[in-house]
Amino acid sequence: MRLLHTSDWHLGRSFHRVNLLTAQEAFIDHLVETVRAERVDAVLVAGDIYDRAVPPLPAVELFDSALHRLGELGVPTVMISGNHDSARRLGVGARLMSRAGIHLRTTPKNCGTPVMLRDEHGDVALYGLPYLEPLLVRAEFAADRADHTTVLSAAMDRVRADLAARPAGTRSVVLAHAFVAGGVGCKSERDITAGGVAAVPAEVFDGVDYAALGHLHGAQTITERIRYSGSPLAYSFSEHLHRKGMWLVDLGPEGEISAERVDCPVPRRLARIKGTLEELLSDPALEAEEDAWVEATLTDAQRPYDPMARLSRRFAHVLALDFEPQGAAVDPLVSYAKRLRDRTDQQIAEDFVAHVRGHGPDAGERTVLHHALDAARVRAAAGETV
């Protein structure tokens, strides 16, 4: 059986000030053509279809168009909700859509209920595990702890229990939206830390033939049977080295796996350049970057006059500007902003407390902050305004 594994469409998202709707439309065209040309038997979309819980109308219209086009191909499609999606909104009409071969899995109670397909070698069970916010789903799984490993393990226990009750030789595929240990993230992904631990061990997925993962934007292979497809488009300059695409996965008669990359259309290359303003404006080696989307870092000792306008005369698509002055005193505001980029919400909150009063929170205060952040995260996952 041939599967096309994709994820993290983030419909409705822009790239700095650039509207990506046209690029996302081109990706959907490419997806549909790949399904047709490669004779795909099923499409797997591992979450974050939208970029936010209440997406803009053009994004909804594009999703609607994608559903109709996939349905018209007669190729089953399994989709799960991600941490950016509103599971309730995305799941509206799921039972009706299943009649057209579009199977939306957005609720934890259906984790152990597969979409059953069949080829000449027998049955294939496709299990959709939507993003599981630990505090929201803990009761559903009677979990003794509210963390990602515990709830995802409980969901996988349901998968294995259902699979064990099926005929011997039934092959299995799981879709999940999570941060699996061994994966490499970037600055585009929303923090899903809960209970202080976000990453789950790859062993959680033992017992199934293939795990189609979403959440991380870089395509990567955790094991031969556990893969991230990555996002089809770059959504921050931290993705400038990513090769964007999808996995074309062949599931053999005994559950053996072979996979190859299918590259996605690139609307415009990303480039990161660094130097003084005069160096960037005159360096012939940067000629290749003149048509790229550019993030420029200036190293001038003093901020030059009107640098963005001057850069744009050479680099017409410069979108981001940063300053790292050589030999100058460190700007505390810039330094603090950069430190925030790689820290969790809990760490940022604790840093703020320390900054305001001169010392960090004690154990009790850290617990209060932790509970407050978890409550905000739960409300966001439920699609509420925070």
What confidence tens digit (pLDDT) does each residue in 120-151 have? 999 999 999 999 999 999 999 999 998 999 99
Full 3-state SS string of 39-72? CCCEEEEECCCECCCCCCHHHHHHHHHHHHHHHH
* pLDDT single digits (tens) 234-269: 999 999 999 999 999 999 999 999 999 999 999 999
Do 62 and 211 have their domain in common?
A: yes
* pLDDT single digits (tens) 17-63: 899 999 999 999 999 999 999 999 999 999 999 999 999 999 999 99
Tell me the β-bridge partners of 296: 273, 321
Q: Which domain holds residue 173?
A: 2-263
Is 63 inside a domain boundary? yes
Q: Count CA atoms closer than 13 A to 322's CA, side-chain side.
A: 14
Which residue has 């003149």 as its token pair? 290
Burial class (CB in 10 A: 0-12, 13-18, 19+), 293: buried
SS3 label, residue 331: coil
Do 79 and 166 have their domain in common?
A: yes
Residue 282's contacts (CB-CB under 8 Å, 6 or more residues apart) are none
Do 320 and 349 have their domain in common?
A: no
Do 26 and 133 have their domain in common?
A: yes
Domain boundary among the residues 263, 294, 309 is at: 263
Is 15 inside a domain boundary? yes
Number of domains in the chain: 3
Do 199 and 236 have their domain in common?
A: yes
Question: In angstroms, rounded to a whole number, what is the distance separating the alpha carbons of residues 49 and 59?
Answer: 10
